[in-house]
Structure formats: C-alpha cells, structure tokens
Amino acid sequence: PSPTQGGMVAGCRRFYFVQPGDGCWAIANSAGIALNDFYKWNPGAGSDCSNLWLDTWYCIGI
C-alpha cells in the first residue's frame, strides 16, 4: 500500500491505515501484536510514537 513511512520492515503482510486519534499502543493492541514489534517493524514512527503520520500505512503483521 501507499503511502508508507520509510524504514518499514520488508515482507510485511498486514497493514493499518492511521486515522485521526490513533496511537501506536492502540494500533498494536487492536492488531494483537506487541508494542515493541510495532516499533521494530515501523521504526519511522519513533521509539515513543512521536512521529506517527496520519493517512499513512503501517505494518501490523509479518
């Protein structure tokens, strides 16, 4: 999908499109993945979710 943020892990198979009000913890929780995995697969979001972009696809499953 497009757009994505740079640095996303290769081979991602599940994606999430960020909407207003979303945060990294809520995205990871709803996807059933560990927050650390979300950060590892999407390093562009920042280690504290400070760089999460709206209207952008993020990896939630590999």
Q: Say if 20 falls within a structural domain.
A: yes
CATH code, domain with 37: 3.10.350.10
Task: Give the tens place of pLDDT for each residue, 7-19.
Answer: 999 999 999 999 9
Q: Say if 4 falls within a structural domain.
A: no
Q: Say if 22 falls within a structural domain.
A: yes
Domain span including residue 35: 14-61
Strand partners, 14: 61
**Region 16-33: what's the mean pLDDT?**
98
Q: Say if 1 falls within a structural domain.
A: no
DSSP state string for 27-62: HHHHHT--HHHHHHH-GGG-TTSTTPPTT-EEEEE-
Q: Say if 53 falls within a structural domain.
A: yes
Give how many domains the chain has, as a whole number: 1
| Residue 47 contacts residue 11 (beta carbons within 8 Å) | no
Q: Say if 19 falls within a structural domain.
A: yes
pTM of the model: 0.95
